Amino acid sequence: MNKDLESLVLSEDQIAEKVKDAAAWLDERFKAGDTPPLAISVLKGSVFFFCDVVRAMQTPVQLDFMTVSSYGSSTKSTGVPKIVMDLSSSVQDRDVILIEDIVDSGHTLVRMKELIMGRGAKSFTVVSLFDKPARRAVPIRADYSCFEIGDEFIVGYGLDYAQQYRNLPYVGILKREIYEK
Ligand code: IMP
Ligand code: MG
């Protein structure tokens, strides 16, 4: 385990199990559709989870990407998520699957939902790897979340602190001394 981590939250094997379950849930939900849903990765945090989930799905999906930034380099959200890179496809009349790394304050999700429904999407389904319910500032939740955590700052498998640790293949709790200097 990386030396900056205090403990492991999800190992590579545990992540693989969560991915399989999330993909099966999406397959069940979208199997009947005639138009493939549009799966959107909220970058950068969801990049690995997104790639793993869409590849584990049996249902045909189309892919798109959006970069949203809300943190700067602290561990607390600014509450004003900024769209740094927009989608390249239209969501009009589409079933949209938003794939997130973590729902924390909920501000990012609220913003994404307003934006995507405002552009005329037919439906909006959110799958998140993590949920931090204790930190919620706005009442919103993912339709499916894989793992609930307390008020801890976690990194790895896409999740960062100041753009670091994203490429760890597992997820762990970052030692407080790293960000409380
Ligand atoms: P929000 O507060 O729900 O808007 O979440 C904003 C974003 O903050 C998430 O999509 C993550 O990218 C990031 N974030 C929230 N909690 C953590 C964490 O524990 N580790 C790393 N990133 C986090
Ligand atoms: Mg994110």
The C-alpha atoms of residue 172 and residue 4 are separated, in whole angstroms, by 9
Q: For residue 59, how far is the Cα from the chain centroid?
A: 20
What is the average pLDDT value for the chain, to the nearest integer? 94
- Rounded distance from Cα 83 to ligand 2 centre (Å): 11
Give the catalytic positions in this structure.
Answer: 104
Higher pLDDT, 118 or 75: 118
- Rounded distance from Cα 105 to ligand 2 centre (Å): 11
pLDDT of 80 over the 80 cut: no
Tokens 């979208």, residue located: 30
Instruction: Output the pTM of the full model.
Output: 0.95
User: 144-172: b or e for each residue (b if 16 or more CB lie within 10 Å)?
Assistant: bbbbebeebbbbbbbbbbeeebbebebbb
The two three-digit tokens of residue 100, written as one number: 């997130």
pLDDT of 1 over the 90 cut: yes
pLDDT of residue 153: 96
Tell me: the pLDDT tens digits for 109-152?
999 999 999 999 999 999 999 999 999 999 999 999 999 999 99
Length of the chain counted residue by residue? 181
Nearest residue (CA) to ligand 1, atom 16: 104
Nearest residue (CA) to ligand 1, atom 9: 102
